[in-house]
Amino acid sequence: MNIKDQNKDFETRSLDTVCINESRLEHKWYHNLKYLVIGILFGIVFIKAEIISWYRIQEMFRFQSFHMYGVIGSAVVVGIISVFLIKKFNIKTIYGEKIEFHDKTFNKGQIYGGLIFGLGWAITGACPGPLFAQIGTGATVMIVTLFFAIVGTWVYGYFRDKLPH
């Protein structure tokens, strides 16, 4: 691989796999309580919408029900509209910081990652978002899934430089 390709690969990885957070704001610890409250409310919505139901997830992967596809589709539509409005009206964060969107390029690692993610989701009946809500409802077996999600993230971070991006 020549130096030009190496630089391009680095640029792709730096924008694709590393969170870019340019905020320099520092807050006291209790400012994080708002995230706890929002997380709890988000978990309640997940429970009421049956998004955390193992049966609903299995129905989706067996193409037996539209429920989960409707939820995911509506989230995509809300996201598209939100990004459009943020760009159109130059909306800033609640602290007045500019919201920036960075272009991303497609690479084959996204296919592999998506397949692994989907396989894990189908087997366990859980994606990372609802894991905490599932544990909170008493499905303590999901602690095993959470543990291995953390292990998988660590393994990816450990081997990141050696993986194709």
Average pLDDT value for the chain: 84
Question: Residue 42: which residues within 8 A CB-CB, separation 6 or more?
Answer: 133
Contact between 52 and 135 under an 8 Å Cβ cutoff? The reply is: no
Mean pLDDT to the nearest integer, 61-89 = 95
Structure pTM?
0.68
Counting runs of H as helices and runs of E as strands, what totals does the chain give? 7, 0
pLDDT, tens only, 95-141:
888 888 888 888 888 898 889 888 888 888 888 878 888 898 898 99
Distance (Å) of CA 19 to CA 15, 54, 105, 128, 160: 8, 30, 15, 17, 14
